[in-house]
Amino acid sequence: MKQLLTFIRKEFHHILRDKRTMLVLLGLPIVQLLIFGFAVTNETRNSSIAILDNAKDETTQNITARMENSRYFDIDRTLNGNRQIEDAFKTGKIKLAVVFQQNFQNELAHGNKAQIQLIADATDPNQATTLVNYASSIIMDHQNELNRENNLPYTINTEMRMLYNPELKGAYTSVPGVMGMILLLISTMMTSISIVREKELGTMEILLVSPMKPLLVILSKAIPYFIVSLINVATILILSVLVLGMPIQGSVFLLIAVTVLYLLCALSLGLLISTVTSSQLAAMLISLLGLMLPVVMLSGYAFPIANMPVLLQIISNIIPAKWYIIMVKSVMIKGLGLEGVWMEALIILAMTLFFLVISLKRFKVRL
Amino acid sequence: MTMNEVVIKTEKLTKKFGGFVAVNEISFEVHKGEIFGFLGANGAGKTTAMKMLIGISRPSSGSASIAGFDVYKQTEMIKKNIGYMSQKFSLYEDLTIEENIRLFGGIYGLTDEEIKLKSGVLIDKLNLRNEARKVVASLPLGWKQKLAFSIAVLHQPKIVFLDEPTGGVDPVTRRQFWDMIYEAAHNGITVFVTTHYMDEAEYCDRVSIMVDGVITALDSPQNLKERYGADTMEEVFVMLARSAKRGE
User: Which residues in A lie closer than 8 A to residue B89 (C-beta atoms)?
Assistant: 201-202
For residue range A213-248, list pLDDT tens digits in order: 878 888 888 888 899 889 988 988 898 888 877 788
**A window 125-154, beta carbon within 8 A of B:** none
- Res A244: pLDDT: 79
Give the amino acid at B6: V
**ipTM summary value:** 0.82
Averaged over successive runs of 10 residues, the pLDDT of chain B (248 residues) comes to: 77 92 93 93 87 90 93 90 84 90 90 91 90 89 90 93 88 91 93 90 93 91 92 90 70
User: Which residues in B lie closer than 8 A to residue A5 (C-beta atoms)?
Assistant: 106
Compare all CA atoms of chain B with the CA of A4 and give the residue at the minimum distance.
Answer: B107
User: Which residues in B lie closer than 8 A to residue A210 (C-beta atoms)?
Assistant: 79, 84, 104, 107-108
Compare all CA atoms of chain B with the CA of A10 and give the residue at the minimum distance.
Answer: B103
A126 pLDDT higher than 80: no
Nearest to B79 among A6, A17, A211 (CB): A211
- Res A262: pLDDT: 93
Nearest to B84 among A6, A10, A209 (CB): A209
Q: Do the Cβ atoms of B89 and A202 come within 8 Å?
A: yes
Q: Do the Cβ atoms of B106 and A207 come within 8 Å?
A: no
The pair phi, psi for residue B172, each rounded to 5°, is -65, -45
DSSP class of B109: T
Distance from CA of B132 to the nearest CA of A (A): 16
User: Which residues in A lie closer than 8 A to residue B99 (C-beta atoms)?
Assistant: 10, 13
Query: For B132-166, b where at least 16 C-beta lie within 10 A, e where not — what string?
Result: beebbeebeebbbbbbbbbbbbbbebbbbbbbbbb
For residue range A39-48, list pLDDT tens digits in order: 655 556 778 8
- Res A161: pLDDT: 38
- Res A42: pLDDT: 54
Q: What is the CA angle A176-A181-A186, rounded to 5? A: 130
Question: Which of A7, A209, A366 to mutate to test binding with chain B, by most B CBs within 10 Å of its CB?
Answer: A209
Nearest to B103 among A6, A18, A205 (CB): A6
User: Which residues in A lie closer than 8 A to residue B161 (C-beta atoms)?
Assistant: 209
Q: Do the Cβ atoms of A17 and B94 come within 8 Å?
A: yes
- Mean pLDDT, residues A275-304: 79
**A window 201-220, beta carbon within 8 A of B:** 201-203, 205-212
Q: Do the Cβ atoms of B106 and A13 come within 8 Å?
A: no
Q: Do the Cβ atoms of B94 and A367 come within 8 Å?
A: no
Lowest pLDDT segment from A326-340, A341-355, B24-38 = A326-340
Question: Does the CA dihedral B172-B178-B184-B187 come out positive or negative?
Answer: negative
Spatial strand order in the sheet of A96-100: A73-79, A47-53, A96-100, A116-120
- Res A367: pLDDT: 47
Query: For A327-362, b where at least 16 C-beta lie within 10 A, e where not — what string?
Result: bbbbbbbeebeeebbeebbebbeebbeebbeebbee
Q: Do the Cβ atoms of B104 and A210 come within 8 Å?
A: yes
- Res B205: pLDDT: 94
- Res A348: pLDDT: 93
Helix (H/G/I), strand (E/B), else coil: A303: coil
* CB neighbourhood size of A281 (10 A): 11
Q: Do the Cβ atoms of B86 and A205 come within 8 Å?
A: yes
User: Which residues in A lie closer than 8 A to residue B114 (C-beta atoms)?
Assistant: none
Nearest to A210 among B88, B93, B107 (CB): B107
Question: Which of B50, B82, B92, B133 to mutate to test binding with chain A, by most A CBs within 10 Å of its CB?
Answer: B92
